Structure 1
């Protein structure tokens, strides 16, 4: 059988290169092998431009910038860890390009196909046998003196926190324009269900099933121990205003950064775009948690 997908974008992890402009031989060989496999299934393989440049595979396959991939390709395969997936997913979301993750990292909550078994797993998926899942994105903007000075999408979380050597930050928090509290802490996280397995997990936040239409708001080392994580509808808009503190920043999936001043407001709402993931038939969220978090080790 030939592939259901005719034009497949291939994005790889190359940031761990030992020297500028050169990818590790293993990473290059992995991407070459996956590209050759896709080609053998009748797919036109198009490499993301940075992946192609850093691996030297631009001589063997066509390459495009991310916007070109979104316009041209009907599937994206991302090889790496969750960080690699987060970066490309935010950029391709507006095109609705479905994504498959092949795990070349460590945890891999959203890159769920084992690298050593990718051919066996991908073959039926390319032929149309898969489970489809939609994950929401956040849209965040930083407003200073009434003007927007920064905006970004986030798939995991928006984090406002202090610098490494500074004291606490104080944030005024509103939800849909209603005052919630002034929070004094090391910072505050607003996370999606996808992000509930990221930073919020380390500060005591709950895990949220990705089908739940909700945000999770969790303080980081709060001054008042009664400040606890809270789950909100994802139809709300969360506002965090910087009241006091030094060296304060806003992070969006820990990959983009805005330096904040007193009086700055960070607004977080649901984006109009979702990320579409494809999983092998039989995939389920709880199996992923068991595997990635080491549940039932030594049990049955």
Structure 2
């Protein structure tokens, strides 16, 4: 088995989780590859640095991708996985953990379940983006697993986001911005802006305005086959677009086209876990004893 391992921050909990993970994977005679920047940051603290090879890009020969960190780490990991269909699982050393669901104390059990194929693959839809004129910051990694968000820059004034769906005018959002979210991202930024929670297998996207001044503006659920076109205007000449955690600056004459990405990401869902279980745990549903 060929396994890629990635983490953003070499903090103690990530290092300890890596050591446990390494022990379990070596029992399966796996070949381990650490992302090169992560390896360079942590190699002096490793018990056996020679146990690892390194990578800075992946290919289809990898059998498993393990992310150590929070949900943001998995979102970064997706930029390595791209359209390679490598199954990914996350060890949660961060905070909330909707995507990174394996707790450090459960690593051994999780690896055994993977060995026994006691899991399913949850195919996660992504968004892709095109800009006219083309933007060099975006075109090389032009997809997002959670959301694409438009927001104001260098101003406290609101922006106007003219929005079309399949070529038909929807509305002009007068707001701090607009979030276009996948079902996976519905528990992220969109949720914090009062968007709905959507199960990962739903074939929908969500448009969620950020602090809209149009008091009737509400989150809108649309078919994921919809082509979304956005045009921004405001007092400043530029605005921000973010793809998960990656940010670029666009000028107000830029037209954005967002649609369903041609590939999906395969998230490993262990048989002892489920999205609904995670939802109850993370949102504390049922903590009210009357439930």
- 2:14 corresponds in structure 1 to 27
Could you say what secondary structure the match of 1:248 adopts?
Answer: strand
Paired residues in the alignment total 282
Residue aligning to 1:8: 3
2: CA distance, partners of 1:29 / 1:216: 38
Task: Tell me which residue corresponds to 1:251.
Answer: 242
Q: Does 1:229 align with 2:224?
A: no
Q: What's the offset of the Cα at 1:298?
A: 4.3
Query: Structure 2 vs 1, CA of residues 91 and 24 (structure 1 numbering), >3 Å: closer, same or farther?
Result: closer
Offset from partner CA, 1:54-80 (integer Å, 9 cap, x none):
11155431111132xx33311111111
Tell whether 2:104 aligns with 1:115: yes
Displacement, 1:30?
Answer: 2.4
Asked if 1:101 is matched to 2:96, the reply is: no
Distance 2:126 2:13 in 1: 32
Q: 128, 131, 148: which one pairs with 2:117?
A: 128
State how 1:143-158 maps to structure 2 within 5 Å: 143-144=132-133, 147-149=134-136, 150-151=138-139, 152-158=142-148
* 1:38 and 2:38 aligned: no
CA contact (8 A) 1:168 1:184 kept: yes
148-157 vs 231-240, greater mean Cα deviation: 148-157
**C-alpha separation between the residues in 2 aligned to 1:46 and 1:91?**
13
Structure 2 residue corresponding to 1:55, chosen from 24, 42, 45: 42
Q: State how far apart, in whole Å, the 2-side matches of 1:265 and 1:161 are.
A: 14
Residues 14 and 69, structure 2, Cα contact 8 Å, conserved in 1: no
Matched, 1:296 2:286: yes
Match runs of 1:203-282 below 5 Å: 203-246=193-236, 247-253=238-244, 255-282=245-272
Unaligned runs of 5+ in 1: 1-5, 15-22
Counterpart-to-counterpart distance in 2, 1:179 and 1:24: 48
Does structure 2 retain, via aligned residues, the 8 Å contact 1:158–1:189?
yes
When residues 116 and 282 of structure 1 are mapped into structure 2, their CA distance, relative to the original with a 3 A threshold, is closer
Residue equivalent to 1:82: 71
State the distance in 2 between where 1:127 and 1:82 align.
25
- TM-score normalized by the length of structure 1: 0.89
Give the Cα–Cα distance (whole angstroms) in 1 for the partners of residues 288 and 111 of structure 2. Answer: 30
Which shifted more, 55-64 or 119-128?
Answer: 55-64
- Distance apart, 1:164 and its partner CA: 6.0
User: Over aligned residue pairs, what C-alpha RMSD do you find?
Assistant: 1.7
Offset at residue 221 of structure 1 (A): 1.1
Closer, same or farther: CA 25–203 of 1 in aligned 2, 3 Å: closer
Detail structure 1 runs of 4+ shifted over 6 Å in the superposition: none
Tell me the TM-score normalised to structure 2 length. 0.91
